[in-house]
Structure 1
Amino acid sequence: MTAETEPDGRPMCVDPRFQTTADRFFDTFRTTAHGGGAAAAYLHGELVLDVWAGWRAKDLRWTHDTVTMCFSTGKGVASTVLHRLADRGLVDYDQPVAAYWPEFAAAGKDRITVRELMSHRAGLHNVRAIAPTREILLDNDAFANALAAGSPDPRRFRGPGYHAVTYGNLVAEVAARVTGKDFTTLLREEVAEPLGVDEFWFHVPLDHRVRIARVFPTVKPGPLPWSTTGRLLSAVPGLRAVAEAGMAAGFDELVRSPEAHDAVMPGWNGVFSAEALAKMYVALANGGVVDAKRYLSADRIRQMAQVQTRDRDYVLGIRPNWRLGYHPAWLRIPEPPLGSIGHYGFGGSGAWADPETGLSFAFVSNRLGNALQPITDGRMSRIGGAAIEAARRAA
């Protein structure tokens, strides 16, 4: 094992087998225009990569304790909370959501199951209709009430429709209903404390907010204001579902606002470190065990990784092969890990596990996308691809 030392004295970790992965990572952050980020990996539960580079703000370097908003990467974290509850018999995937959340039965949703909800088949993708104002987005109870009252899209019977913003709040409400605890408490008790890692936040504690990297650039899909663009795209047949699902009211402003850290929106406002995310996925890569302790049952891991639908997603326009709250790792390599399980986020962050090699990997960055668009880019695919190839060589 080799290590490099940062100016503040915290050593980076680069196992020699993962030197190429580290090289690709460091090549990503050459100037302030590239922002900053971190990557971490565990192989069979052993830390083999923990690196960081670049800038968390124009005049501040990224350090070992920097965290950043990771957007939909948090869906995998929220899903893991619900799977922990299912492992204790508190949730049955094949029970109606309304069995745990009675109000959810409204508008013909009485037969929608937890399994369907977790594989984006509940038909509640349209955040523009469910939460037409940012005030509703920021109010957990109001958002939950709006979701419960919402009418499901009939396209759900033909295939999944990615719940870009609504998914996290749906999962969080089910978890809260079956335990009687708020989701912030559940996140701490079911993820942070068992793993011995603090950096799992949707509602970020005030004393840790100084650690959050500034995301950039401004989220702007074109020359028109966000709200206007959303309305226009909603009228275009081929783009309508994307606008409905992803262009929530005020999202462009909330992305860079401290208000985003006051609310619990597990579909997109998660703040994590790469090391924390990679540590959580250790369990998914190693049969449910992390730090020699049972975190999830082996049977639960098997169920979590099963493909729930191979149909085309009517929001994304592709076949994501949704698992129960996750998708496979999408990597730029000749033989991608088809049995992998994880979740990527808006802008390019993401984390996943590969049970075949025992590898868990995470990449986070405050730089959203590339020079052309903020949605995503190839950083995760390149760096993650190098990591999986290193893990295969080490087998």
Structure 2
Amino acid sequence: MSYTIQGFFEPQFQHVIDVFLAQLPQEPRQGGAALTVYHRNQKVVDVWAGVSNKQGKPWQANTMSISYSTTKGVLSTLVHILVDEGLLDYDRPIADYWPAFAQNGKHSITLRHVLTHEAGLYHLRSMIDDAHEMLDWPHMLQKIEQATPLHAAGARVGYHAISFGWIVGGLIEKVSGEPLAQTLAKKITQPLQLDGCYIGVPESELARCSEIIGAARYNPNKAAPSKFVQLQQQLTDKALRLTGFDPNTAAEALIPKGMSRFYLDEPKSLQACNAGAGGVFTARSLAKIYAALANWGELDGVRLLSAQTLREVVKVYNHQRGDVVPMPMHWRLGYHRVFTTWPRTPHAFGHFGYGGSGAWADPSRHLAVGYIVNTGSGSPFADLRLWRINTAIIETVEKLR
């Protein structure tokens, strides 16, 4: 049984559509996805296919999906807007805006340290006793205030996989004087007329959210892994350790206690403000945000960011391997490098997420991409679906030059 593609695309992008479809599950009722591409400020691909839940509900034009760490790119864009407006400075201590943040040796940490993942505050597992605490925004801000950094600001790189959202989101609330969701709506969603961009989904929009299909579910009676699987995991861990990677460090950042019983796609999680890993978007909205960034801050007459601020934002600030992610991410201010299966993308930046989603811009190619998907439960480094789609997009655009 084949997929039926919905939406539209320019004929020159047929190869992209073929690759997009090839990344979907073999059986159409096992999941779905959506892809939007802007080239030279024009939407050239806006497609979707598959199903949005386990009952086989067809993916619709307005279907949204939780996009995990892809959220960080949107949150970073929002904080850059506030820098542009003079409400924030990358190099002033966060404690200047948020005095309680200074506790336990955090007085010198700046916004720049956080955006480049050099603040040493990624150890979420040590901050909370259960993953369900992440649903309580004021409680999590207090946990960030009480946290002690693992190292001096700027001394090391460690991906703030989940804690990033409370640090940056909390800072945004301190300087804006309003809830994060309200600032996001005023500064990004409404000006760009986005059709689905939420950090904390309103109850009225929950029906549009896809269900994650294929994510591991907690089962207390689950059989122990086979000896082969155990050996495979041991060999993988050993190979990673040879690169200097410590799985325990990654677990500190990525896996709070109780995570096996915590589901980010449940209504209570979708409605919560999880600004580092809980954003819910359409591919169309993600691509439109990055289309503005690809055009140096402006799209369709709407100025999102000044070109001057954006030029500082997209510089690469560190190249080394981090303590959490065992590969160089080439961190900009809140964005990382763009991954493909071969084409070089030195000027591209964005953010990918657990489960396969991602969004990015490449000003040098006048290109922006947004991709959401509801199948898979792997990291962006082991999940090559978006890498392959990105490669097809770049190949197509290069031929159009």
TM-score between both structures, scaled by the size of structure 1 = 0.90
Match of 1:110 in 2: 107
- Give, in angstroms, the shift of residue 198 of structure 1: 3.2
**Secondary structure of 1:217 counterpart:** coil
- C-alpha offsets along residues 11-57 of structure 1, whole Å, 9 cap, x if unaligned? 61211221110111122224146510000000121000001011112
Q: Do residues 350 (structure 1) and 346 (structure 2) align?
A: no
Q: Do residues 52 (structure 1) and 48 (structure 2) align?
A: yes
- Residue 214 of structure 1, aligned match among 211, 216, 229: 211
- Give, in angstroms, the shift of residue 103 of structure 1: 0.6
Tell which deviates more after alignment, 277-286 or 248-257: 248-257
**Stretches of structure 2 lacking an aligned partner (at least 5 in a row):** 226-236
Describe the shift of the 1:39–1:103 C-alpha distance in structure 2 as closer, same or farther (beyond 3 A).
same
- Give, in angstroms, the shift of residue 148 of structure 1: 1.0
CA contact (8 A) 1:40 1:362 kept: yes
Amino acid corresponding to residue 347 of structure 1 in structure 2: G
- Give, in angstroms, the shift of residue 216 of structure 1: 2.3
Match of 1:120 in 2: 117
Paired with 2:279 and 2:216, the residues of 1 have a C-alpha distance of: 17
CA contact (8 A) 1:332 1:385 kept: yes
- Residue 390 of structure 1, aligned match among 380, 383, 396: 396
Match of 2:22 in 1: 27
Q: Do residues 290 (structure 1) and 296 (structure 2) align?
A: no
CA contact (8 A) 1:369 1:376 kept: no
Paired with 1:215 and 1:255, the residues of 2 have a C-alpha distance of: 9
Paired with 2:22 and 2:247, the residues of 1 have a C-alpha distance of: 35
Q: Do residues 322 (structure 1) and 318 (structure 2) align?
A: no
Match of 2:97 in 1: 100
Equivalent positions of 1:1-395 (< 5 A) are 12-29=7-24, 30-32=26-28, 34-58=30-54, 59-154=56-151, 157-219=154-216, 238-252=246-260, 253-333=262-342, 335-369=343-377, 376-395=382-401
Amino acid corresponding to residue 325 of structure 1 in structure 2: G
CA contact (8 A) 1:200 1:271 kept: yes
CA contact (8 A) 1:282 1:353 kept: yes
**Secondary structure of 1:57 counterpart:** coil
**Secondary structure of 1:310 counterpart:** coil
Paired with 1:305 and 1:347, the residues of 2 have a C-alpha distance of: 25
Describe the shift of the 1:148–1:24 C-alpha distance in structure 2 as closer, same or farther (beyond 3 A).
same
Tell which deviates more after alignment, 126-135 or 336-345: 126-135
CA contact (8 A) 2:292 2:304 kept: yes
- Give, in angstroms, the shift of residue 155 of structure 1: 7.2
- Give, in angstroms, the shift of residue 357 of structure 1: 0.6
- Give, in angstroms, the shift of residue 224 of structure 1: 6.9
- Give, in angstroms, the shift of residue 67 of structure 1: 0.8
CA contact (8 A) 2:319 2:329 kept: yes
Match of 1:229 in 2: none
Tell which deviates more after alignment, 253-262 or 84-93: 253-262
CA contact (8 A) 1:21 1:386 kept: yes
Paired with 2:385 and 2:327, the residues of 1 have a C-alpha distance of: 21
Paired with 2:297 and 2:12, the residues of 1 have a C-alpha distance of: 25
Amino acid corresponding to residue 367 of structure 1 in structure 2: T
TM-score between both structures, scaled by the size of structure 2 = 0.88
**Stretches of structure 1 lacking an aligned partner (at least 5 in a row):** 226-232
Describe the shift of the 1:224–1:321 C-alpha distance in structure 2 as closer, same or farther (beyond 3 A).
farther
Amino acid corresponding to residue 351 of structure 1 in structure 2: A
Amino acid corresponding to residue 187 of structure 1 in structure 2: L
**Secondary structure of 1:306 counterpart:** coil
CA contact (8 A) 2:76 2:334 kept: yes
Describe the shift of the 1:224–1:78 C-alpha distance in structure 2 as closer, same or farther (beyond 3 A).
farther
Amino acid corresponding to residue 330 of structure 1 in structure 2: F
Percent identity, aligned pairs only? Answer: 34
CA contact (8 A) 2:130 2:259 kept: no
- Give, in angstroms, the shift of residue 250 of structure 1: 3.6
Paired with 1:66 and 1:281, the residues of 2 have a C-alpha distance of: 19
**Secondary structure of 2:257 counterpart:** coil
Describe the shift of the 1:114–1:374 C-alpha distance in structure 2 as closer, same or farther (beyond 3 A).
closer
Match of 1:230 in 2: none
**Secondary structure of 1:56 counterpart:** coil
CA contact (8 A) 2:192 2:302 kept: no
Describe the shift of the 1:374–1:341 C-alpha distance in structure 2 as closer, same or farther (beyond 3 A).
closer
Paired with 2:398 and 2:257, the residues of 1 have a C-alpha distance of: 44
Describe the shift of the 1:223–1:312 C-alpha distance in structure 2 as closer, same or farther (beyond 3 A).
farther
- C-alpha offsets along residues 258-296 of structure 1, whole Å, 9 cap, x if unaligned? 221121011111110101000000111111111133221
Describe the shift of the 1:375–1:354 C-alpha distance in structure 2 as closer, same or farther (beyond 3 A).
closer
Paired with 1:208 and 1:362, the residues of 2 have a C-alpha distance of: 20
